[in-house]
Amino acid sequence: MPLSYPAGTLAEHKACRNNVAVFDVSHLRRIYLKGASDFLQWRLTNNVKMLEPMRAHYTHMLFEDGSVLDDLICICLSPNEHLLIVNAGNYEAVLEDLKVRMKEFQSGKFLEVGQKRGTGAKLKTIELETDSDRQNVFLAVQGPKTSELLSEVFSKELLKSKQLVKKNHAQTFSYRGEEILMLGTGYTGEAGVECVVPEGVAKEFLSDLVSAGASLAGLSARDILRLEAGYPLYGNELGVGITPLQAQLGWVVDFEKGDFLGREALQKELEVKPSQLLFGFKIENDRRPIRNGDEIFFEDKLVGRVTSGNYSPTLSCAIALGFLNTGFLKTAGGSFEASALGQEVEIRGRQNRKAMICSPTGFLRK
């Protein structure tokens, strides 16, 4: 995936917000697991058992200290098969972890540290395959006109169903004799789908999308789109030393479901206030981008740092995501999260500028 195509980052961004953009996101790796639902329930933070067949959700894989090894999409393909879509940079680590932890799990070792498994649970054999075994690519088709565009490409099938794949649903469509798995997921804040496409028909599918009016878009546009939507990027807003709670993603953690790896650390963090929290920052009427690594000051004290920043074409101003130390604001009875919103901080990069604290997912809200 290039940073941008000849149209340029801003044109690609606009195509996604107003029409349809297609991103080749094959660098996100696909891992298929059979017989793994008990294991995944323990290894991932969200509740895998609540996923009906052909449903997807966002979830985290944690280290024992509660920080994030990977953020990923988990899809239940059938009661016995799950598909994980993981970050390129974490693929080797995730694969290795799954193999090691599967053995641990199957040996029952995790029972020593975790909650007891119900009696009578059978140890199933877990089978693992990857996209190299399945030979497929992954394309994201995103934008408000995605539904119409796909109807053109699939004419018969989609026109009959009159419905784009719903958010967090999965559906298969036949295309030139092959099967495309379409997920109602994305990383842009727009309606759209992400498609697992067999290699044999990938070129034709991509060219059909482009012929129907989709614009090819690159990594730079994707990064601005996800920043505007407030989605975390692994390595910036998530990673070693950062927990889901700190990233204000507590909703991906199901504490009710029983034991999972990293639970103990997260529960401790729930009892005390997290040491840092992710927020959004906005400098209205100023186009100069905020940059990763800029420092955040409050009353001349260093209180945080920017993890992702840029110019928002949608808002025509500078925006950023960054962590604030939770010690510096008086909570005045309310939560730190709530009391920080609307406060002014100073972002110091090449210039010092006043910025307003907002919700990390608040940039696109009307």
Partner 1 sequence: MNTPEDLSYTKDHEWVRDAGAGIYRVGITDYAQDALGDVVFVEIKPTGTEVVVGDAFGEAESTKSVSDLYSPISGTIKSVNEKLAEQPELVNSDPYGEGWMCEIELGKDSPKEELLTASQYSELIS
Sign of CA dihedral 6, 214, 141, 314: positive
State in angstroms the smallest separation of the CB of 139 from partner 1. Answer: 23
| Side-chain-facing half-sphere of 152: CA atoms under 13 Å | 13
**Applying CB under 8 A, does 215 fall inside the site for partner 1?**
no
Dist CA 353 CA 334 (whole Å): 27
State in angstroms the smallest separation of the CB of 365 from partner 1. Answer: 22
Cα 124 to chain centroid, rounded: 29
8 A C-beta contact, residue 75 and residue 278: no
CB-nearer residue toward partner 1: 2 or 241 = 2
Query: Taking CB under 8 A as the rule, which mask of x and - marks residues 223-262 in contact with partner 1?
Result: -x--------------------------------------
State in angstroms the smallest separation of the CB of 284 from partner 1. Answer: 14
State in angstroms the smallest separation of the CB of 21 from partner 1. Answer: 15
CB-nearer residue toward partner 1: 313 or 360 = 313
CB-nearer residue toward partner 1: 9 or 37 = 9
CB-nearer residue toward partner 1: 4 or 136 = 4
CB-nearer residue toward partner 1: 142 or 326 = 142
**Applying CB under 8 A, does 189 fall inside the site for partner 1?**
no
Strands 192-198 vs 276-283: parallel, antiparallel or unpaired: unpaired
The residue behind tokens 């700190």 is 246
From 289, 304, 322, 360, residue interacting with partner 1 (rule: CB under 8 A): 289
**Applying CB under 8 A, does 26 fall inside the site for partner 1?**
no
8 A C-beta contact, residue 182 and residue 170: yes
**Applying CB under 8 A, does 4 fall inside the site for partner 1?**
yes
Of 35-43, 124-132, 165-173, 286-294, which part binds partner 1 (CB under 8 A)?
A: 286-294
8 A C-beta contact, residue 140 and residue 187: yes
| Side-chain-facing half-sphere of 250: CA atoms under 13 Å | 13
**Applying CB under 8 A, does 8 fall inside the site for partner 1?**
yes
Map the footprint of partner 1 across residues 325-364, applying CB under 8 A. Answer: 350
State in angstroms the smallest separation of the CB of 4 from partner 1. Answer: 7
Of 6-14, 72-80, 135-143, 184-192, which part binds partner 1 (CB under 8 A)?
A: 6-14
CB-nearer residue toward partner 1: 319 or 340 = 319
From 2, 3, 267, 301, residue interacting with partner 1 (rule: CB under 8 A): 3
From 37, 47, 171, 310, residue interacting with partner 1 (rule: CB under 8 A): 310
# chain residues binding partner 1, by CB under 8 A: 15
CB-nearer residue toward partner 1: 189 or 313 = 313
CB-nearer residue toward partner 1: 235 or 250 = 235
CB-nearer residue toward partner 1: 232 or 289 = 289
DSSP single-letter state for residue 61: E
Helix extents (H) in the chain: 9-18, 37-43, 91-107, 131-134, 146-153, 156-161, 199-211, 219-229, 263-271, 336-340
Dist CA 250 CA 270 (whole Å): 10
**Applying CB under 8 A, does 287 fall inside the site for partner 1?**
yes
DSSP single-letter state for residue 273: P
The residue behind tokens 């981008």 is 289
Dist CA 63 CA 43 (whole Å): 10
Catalogue the E-assigned strands of the chain: 21-24, 29-34, 55-62, 68-78, 81-86, 127-130, 136-142, 170-175, 178-183, 192-198, 215-216, 276-283, 295-298, 301-312, 317-325, 344-348, 352-358
CB-nearer residue toward partner 1: 311 or 336 = 311
From 63, 311, 328, 336, residue interacting with partner 1 (rule: CB under 8 A): 311
Positions that interact with partner 1 (CB under 8 A): 3-4, 8-10, 220, 224, 287-289, 291, 310-311, 313, 350
